[in-house]
């Protein structure tokens, strides 16, 4: 059997503490399901930057471009390296140059985690946000003229290409089709943004014809955010442009509790380039060094990676083990416990091996 080659980039701060637990748990699932994984570690980080003057070597693309995936911790050491240097020098390069045009985030209320929404129980909230990750409102097309005069103005264009819109919407339909509810919601604002959003709606309807078994609806972004809070149980898969998706992909997981357990995937679904799997949280310099970081975001990201590599059973096993440990403990301090990072990783790996 050919081993899957995974590039491991732990990065900075608690990235270095949670990554070993991610590897431990994914190894446990791989052993159980007979999956061969080869981890290749890269020390690209702010430490690397302070030694070499760049976040990554010049040939980074050649070094990891043929790997099956990137398992990423977090970058950022704001006391020593400005955040725009660390983020633009690594994470954002992967997203752009590996054409990771889907940002996928689950919003799932887990046992043992208190939702900030009153009266919601585990099982009530379980949906995915699919965000367009390469174009839309986040373009660098535009400029400033007549600077410093009365006529000063700025222009920044939104870019919606047919290829870019169709591929992310099609990914969302395919995801919805694999799920029980088969329900896809589109985020729009065609009442206010009168050219690009009607176009988004038009492509959403056109691609829907390929998926007659998927039930669809669309909401304007303003009322959609309200519904994330009021009726989170209603949603199954939600697809959105880059800007709307950025907002929804923070709001959705926020409705399900703590940032420390939320994962995120940056996908190139055609697999021309490696996809990247990471926890949502950053390098948390405020708690780094104490071994109290919650490793669940990293481990859950590993579960998404197993799913992407073609092992849905192994991925589900990891998710179930996370749920068991969230329900029964041990818990790290962010969830009110006293356990260390490694205690959680070991407990989750044991559940994976034993069930």
Positions touching ligand NAI (CB under 6 A) are: 14, 18, 74-76, 78, 83, 87, 91, 259-260, 278, 281-287, 293-294, 297, 334
* Minimum CB distance to ligand NAI, residue 51 (Å): 18
Nearer to ligand NAI by Cβ, of 190 and 291: the residue is 291
CA nearest to 252, candidates 187, 207, 204: 187
* Candidate segments 83-91, 130-138, 246-254, 263-271, binder of Mg ion by CB under 5 A: 246-254
Nearer to ligand NAI by Cβ, of 75 and 109: the residue is 75
**Sequence-ordered list of residues with C-beta below 8 angstroms from that of 260, at least 6 positions apart, any chain:** 279, 281, 293, 294, 296, 297, 332, 334, 335
Nearer to ligand NAI by Cβ, of 35 and 104: the residue is 104
Nearer to Mg ion by Cβ, of 77 and 246: the residue is 246
Nearer to ligand NAI by Cβ, of 196 and 249: the residue is 249
* Minimum CB distance to ligand NAI, residue 347 (Å): 15
Query: What residue 65 binds from Mg ion, ligand NAI, none (CB within 5 to 8 A, per partner kind)?
Result: none
Query: What residue 262 binds from ligand NAI, Mg ion, none (CB within 5 to 8 A, per partner kind)?
Result: none
H or E segment at 65?
A: none
Gap between the Cα atoms of 76 and 90, Å rounded: 10
Gap between the Cα atoms of 350 and 322, Å rounded: 11
* Minimum CB distance to Mg ion, residue 83 (Å): 13
* Candidate segments 196-204, 238-246, 329-337, 340-348, binder of Mg ion by CB under 5 A: 238-246
Torsion of Cα atoms, 92 then 98 then 102 then 106, to 10°: -70
**Total number of residues shown for the chain:** 355
Strands (E), the chain: 4-11, 37-42, 69-74, 102-108, 126-132, 142-145, 153-156, 183-188, 215-220, 237-240, 263-267, 275-279
* Minimum CB distance to Mg ion, residue 280 (Å): 9
* Minimum CB distance to ligand NAI, residue 67 (Å): 19
Nearer to ligand NAI by Cβ, of 55 and 221: the residue is 55
* Residues in a beta bridge with 279: 263
Gap between the Cα atoms of 188 and 81, Å rounded: 38
Query: What residue 297 binds from ligand NAI, Mg ion, none (CB within 5 to 8 A, per partner kind)?
Result: ligand NAI
Give me the phi and psi of 234, to 5 degrees please.
-75, -25
Q: Are 294 and 258 in contact (CB under 8 A)?
A: yes
* Minimum CB distance to ligand NAI, residue 260 (Å): 3
- The count of residues interacting with Mg ion (CB under 5 A) is 1
Query: What residue 45 binds from ligand NAI, Mg ion, none (CB within 5 to 8 A, per partner kind)?
Result: none
* Candidate segments 105-113, 197-205, 241-249, 287-295, binder of Mg ion by CB under 5 A: 241-249
Nearer to ligand NAI by Cβ, of 87 and 159: the residue is 87
Cα–Cα–Cα angle for 236, 240, 243, nearest 5°? Answer: 140
* Residues in a beta bridge with 8: 41, 71
* Candidate segments 28-36, 48-56, 215-223, 239-247, binder of Mg ion by CB under 5 A: 239-247
Tell me which residues touch Mg ion (CB under 5 A): 246
């Amino acid at each position: 059997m050919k081993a899957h080659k995974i590039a491991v980039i732990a990065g900075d701060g608690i990235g270095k503490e949670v990554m070993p637990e991610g590897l431990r748990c994914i190894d446990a699932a791989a052993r159980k399901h007979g999956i061969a994984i080869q981890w290749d570690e890269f020390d690209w980080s702010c430490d690397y930057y302070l030694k070499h003057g760049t976040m990554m070597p010049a040939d980074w693309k050649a070094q990891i471009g043929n790997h099956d995936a990137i398992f990423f911790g977090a970058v950022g050491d704001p006391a020593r390296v400005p955040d725009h240097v660390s983020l633009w020098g690594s994470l954002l390069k992967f997203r752009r140059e590996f054409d990771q045009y889907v940002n996928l985030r689950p919003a799932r209320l887990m046992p043992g985690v208190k939702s900030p929404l009153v009266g919601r129980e585990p099982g009530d909230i379980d949906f995915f946000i699919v965000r367009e990750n390469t174009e839309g409102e986040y373009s660098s097309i535009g400029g400033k003229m007549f600077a410093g005069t009365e006529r000063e103005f700025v222009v920044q264009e939104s870019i919606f290409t047919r290829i870019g819109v169709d591929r992310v919407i099609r990914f969302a339909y395919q995801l919805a089709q694999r799920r029980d509810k088969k329900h896809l919601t589109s985020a729009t604002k065609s009442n206010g943004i009168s050219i690009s959003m009607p176009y988004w709606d038009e492509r959403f309807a056109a691609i829907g014809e390929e998926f007659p078994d998927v039930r669809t609806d669309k909401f304007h972004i303003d009322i959609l955010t309200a519904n994330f809070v009021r009726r989170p149980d209603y949603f199954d898969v939600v697809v959105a442009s880059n800007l709307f998706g950025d907002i929804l992909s923070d709001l959705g997981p926020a409705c399900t509790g703590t940032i420390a357990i939320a994962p995120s995937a940056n996908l190139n679904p055609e697999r021309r380039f490696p996809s990247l799997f990471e926890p949502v949280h950053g390098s948390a310099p405020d708690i780094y060094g104490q071994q109290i970081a919650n490793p669940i975001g990293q481990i859950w990201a590993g579960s998404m990676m197993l799913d992407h590599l073609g092992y849905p059973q192994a991925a589900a096993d990891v998710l179930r083990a996370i749920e068991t440990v969230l329900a029964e403990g041990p818990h790290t301090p962010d969830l009110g416990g006293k356990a260390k990072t490694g205690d959680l990783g070991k407990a989750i790996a044991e559940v994976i091996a034993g069930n």
